[in-house]
Amino acid sequence: MSIILFLDFAGVFVFAATGALAASRRQLDIIGFIFLANITGFGGGTVRDVILGDTPVIWVKDPTYLLIGTAAAILVYLIAHKIESRYRALLWLDAIGMAMFATMGAAKGLSLGFGPSIAIVMGIFTATLGGIMRDMVAGEPSVLMRREIYISAALAGAAAYVALWSLTENPLYSAVPATLIAFLVRGGALLFGWKLPNYHAKRGRTTKELERDGIVPHDD
Amino acid sequence: MSIILFLDFAGVFVFAATGALAASRRQLDIIGFIFLANITGFGGGTVRDVILGDTPVIWVKDPTYLLIGTAAAILVYLIAHKIESRYRALLWLDAIGMAMFATMGAAKGLSLGFGPSIAIVMGIFTATLGGIMRDMVAGEPSVLMRREIYISAALAGAAAYVALWSLTENPLYSAVPATLIAFLVRGGALLFGWKLPNYHAKRGRTTKELERDGIVPHDD
Amino acid sequence: MSIILFLDFAGVFVFAATGALAASRRQLDIIGFIFLANITGFGGGTVRDVILGDTPVIWVKDPTYLLIGTAAAILVYLIAHKIESRYRALLWLDAIGMAMFATMGAAKGLSLGFGPSIAIVMGIFTATLGGIMRDMVAGEPSVLMRREIYISAALAGAAAYVALWSLTENPLYSAVPATLIAFLVRGGALLFGWKLPNYHAKRGRTTKELERDGIVPHDD
């Protein structure tokens, strides 16, 4: 199995596990676990394939993906109650899956013949959109809207893969460092609250405050 | 008209009506009713067709779908104020539409030559994604995240269709029982609060509690 | 450059700026600005192209779109703190982008050979879905769910383009009035709170009230 295929399957497994952890936080049943796990596991890859016109999407052509997502869901269903903090587990697995998919998405973009900028964007999309879907469907506040570094870590991993590939043309020597870079950047953000400077931005007014200040009309 | 095409049109009509009921709860105008009704009516089918690579999607090729969705929206616009509980009506129509689309989506998957597992997944997607989109766009808490049985009912209907079709190869004898099974399972959940056992899961901490316990950094 | 291509690029720029303003309200970093700006800038066009089967989608084929979205994000990042009300700026730029995309989406539908009703629907989708995605990802209450006229303005612009095109077959004479019509209708709604009559609709009960009244079971 190539390193890229390994990253794809492993990324599906850990992202699916984060979907199952979100299902556990919502107290869904086993079918709900499997549903949310699979949406999270290949939601990002599905959007990537659809945007690139590579349909039917990969998990329709190869049922291995459904098996992996479902296995992750069942595993989490059986052990979630033994995990002290499911949300902390979710954040760390999300970081691992994000790093794998940033590399894998960039590699897929290049392998379909697209240029470096599109390959990097595909890395970012594959890495982030599954998590966005998980948070939207589960009604969680989106991980991406937190102020610690997230998208930048996916960008770093995808860009590293594209740069290393152009230097080495060796998937292994490109994929392993790129995945590590993305994971270390996001892991540092989780451990130490790393942020990029945010240049003067202040919190936006809430809808209530916007109505009070006459920015939007009272909506009732 | 074949039973499958009937289920498709009827499913669009009742799902569109649930979108219009959500629009009524948000006090939208008639154009808002039509917009949300059509998104709900064929949102799930659109995702199914896009994933399978069957584009342009069906409602672009056949404007009948837009007519049906718009008719449902206008009807609900005219009578919504006479309905005692719009949300109860929404839940029951959603159950009917879900049952029809679980069958119809599975039938479409088989008819395009995909295997049983992909056909069942397509049944589940067609049955659930329109409602997910309705709830997201309207800002309602998602029906799928409730603890009564929902996705399991779609799974039961789609699996029943695939099984009955392989036995009978008769669309009518497969579609009618499958649709009834999905509707009865979901209806029982609505009436009696049927749940699958949820094995130890406890509610997830809120963002505030996660910050208090140091799982995520304070986000301001 | 044709008027339609100009509207496309200009629409991407102003919609991307609204995404960046939402990023500023959430205090994201520069990479977050760029991510949300690009999703808002061509999210609607991406869905349109995917639904019509015109893939790879336009911004994959032509990286100019990514450059425009990124430029808008950087500009807003540098000046957002000088804007007195970012949300008011967001609403007005959203109105300009919506008007441009209603025209541009209808023009694209016609140019691909679809009929008037599909062209109008594509105008509405292109005009509204980028904003819906921005609000969903950023966790803002959706602009479309407000009670002032919004979707109707997109409909008016798209329908005007289709009508004027069938009369004149001149892109300039069709696109300029159509864009103005959409903008003036939405601008009037923003300034004067224009609403269509909403025929008896009353606010929907909240989830808590639905539980209290026994419409849905207590979900805990």
Report yes or no on A180 lying in a domain.
Answer: yes
pLDDT band of residue B219 (cuts 50, 70, 90) is low
CB contact under 8 A, A35 and B124: yes
Q: Look at residue B133 in the predicted model and tell me its pLDDT.
A: 92
Q: Look at residue A23 in the predicted model and tell me its pLDDT.
A: 92
Q: In A, which residues are within 8 Å of C45 by CB distance?
A: none
Other chains touching C, judged by 3 or more CB pairs under 8 Å: A, B
Q: Look at residue C105 in the predicted model and tell me its pLDDT.
A: 95
CA distance, residue A212 to nearest chain B CA (Å): 21
Q: Look at residue A116 in the predicted model and tell me its pLDDT.
A: 94
Q: Look at residue A219 in the predicted model and tell me its pLDDT.
A: 57
Report yes or no on A208 lying in a domain.
Answer: no
CB contact under 8 A, A28 and B215: no
Distance separating the N- and C-terminal Cα atoms of chain C: 59
Q: Look at residue A122 in the predicted model and tell me its pLDDT.
A: 94
Q: CB contacts < 8 Å between A and B, how many? A: 94
Looking at the complex, does the CB of residue A137 fall below 8 Å from at least one CB of chain C?
Answer: no
Report yes or no on A167 lying in a domain.
Answer: yes
| A158, A124 Cβ separation under 8 angstroms | yes
Using one digit for the tens of pLDDT, what is the confidence trace for A96-117? 999 999 999 999 999 999 999 9
CA distance, residue C29 to nearest chain A CA (Å): 5
CB contact under 8 A, C29 and A198: yes
Looking at the complex, does the CB of residue A50 fall below 8 Å from at least one CB of chain B?
Answer: yes
Q: In A, which residues are within 8 Å of B142 by CB distance?
A: 137, 139
Using one digit for the tens of pLDDT, what is the confidence trace for A49-76? 999 999 899 999 998 999 999 999 999 9
Q: In A, which residues are within 8 Å of B26 by CB distance?
A: none
Using one digit for the tens of pLDDT, what is the confidence trace for C164-200? 999 999 989 999 999 999 999 999 999 998 888 766 6
Report yes or no on B12 lying in a domain.
Answer: yes
- Tally of CB atoms within 10 A around C52: 19
Mean of pLDDT values over B40-53: 92
CB contact under 8 A, C27 and A117: no
| A32, A44 Cβ separation under 8 angstroms | no
- Does B13 have pLDDT greater than 60? yes
- Burial class from Cβ neighbours inside 10 Å (0-12, 13-18, 19+) for residue C157 reads buried
Looking at the complex, does the CB of residue A5 fall below 8 Å from at least one CB of chain C?
Answer: no
What total of structural domains would you count in chain B? Answer: 1
Q: Look at residue A39 in the predicted model and tell me its pLDDT.
A: 94
Helix (H), strand (E), coil (C) string for B7-60: HHHHHHHHHHHHHHHHHHHCCCCHHHHHHHHHHHHHHHHHHHHHHHCCCCCHHH
Q: Which residues contact C155 (CB under 8 A, 6 or more apart)?
A: B31, C102, C120, C123, C124
Looking at the complex, does the CB of residue B6 fall below 8 Å from at least one CB of chain C?
Answer: no
Structure-token match 């290393």, residue found: A164
Provide DSSP, B177-207.
HHHHHHHHHHHHHHHH------TT--PPPPH
Partner-chain residue, chosen from B117, B136, B200, that has the shortest CB–CB distance to A63: B117
CA distance, residue B210 to nearest chain A CA (Å): 8
Q: In C, which residues are within 8 Å of B63 by CB distance?
A: 115, 117-118
CB contact burial A24-42 (16+ within 10 A = b; e otherwise): bbbbbbbbbbbbbbbbbbb
Q: CB contacts < 8 Å between A and C, how many? A: 94
Report yes or no on C217 lying in a domain.
Answer: no
Looking at the complex, does the CB of residue C84 fall below 8 Å from at least one CB of chain B?
Answer: no
Using one digit for the tens of pLDDT, what is the confidence trace for C47-71? 999 999 998 999 999 989 999 999 9
pLDDT band of residue B206 (cuts 50, 70, 90) is confident
Report yes or no on C70 lying in a domain.
Answer: yes
Where in the sequence is the domain holding B205, given as residue range(s)?
3-212
Report yes or no on B220 lying in a domain.
Answer: no
Which one-letter DSSP state was computed for residue A215? S
Q: How far apart are CA B107 and CA B180, in angstroms?
A: 15
CB contact under 8 A, A24 and B201: yes
| Tokens of residue B199, six digits | 């094995």
Partner-chain residue, chosen from A50, A91, A147, that has the shortest CB–CB distance to B50: A50
Using one digit for the tens of pLDDT, what is the confidence trace for B14-39? 999 999 999 998 889 999 999 999 99
CB contact under 8 A, B138 and C145: yes
Residue type, B29: D
Q: In A, which residues are within 8 Å of C56 by CB distance?
A: 51-53
Q: How far apart are CA C188 and CA B111, in angstroms?
A: 50
B86-111 and B30-52 helices cross at what angle (nearest 10)?
30
| Tokens of residue C15, six digits | 């919609």
Report yes or no on B218 lying in a domain.
Answer: no
Name which residue leads in pLDDT, C39 or A141: C39
On average, the pLDDT of chain C sits at 90
Q: In B, which residues are within 8 Å of A134 by CB distance?
A: none
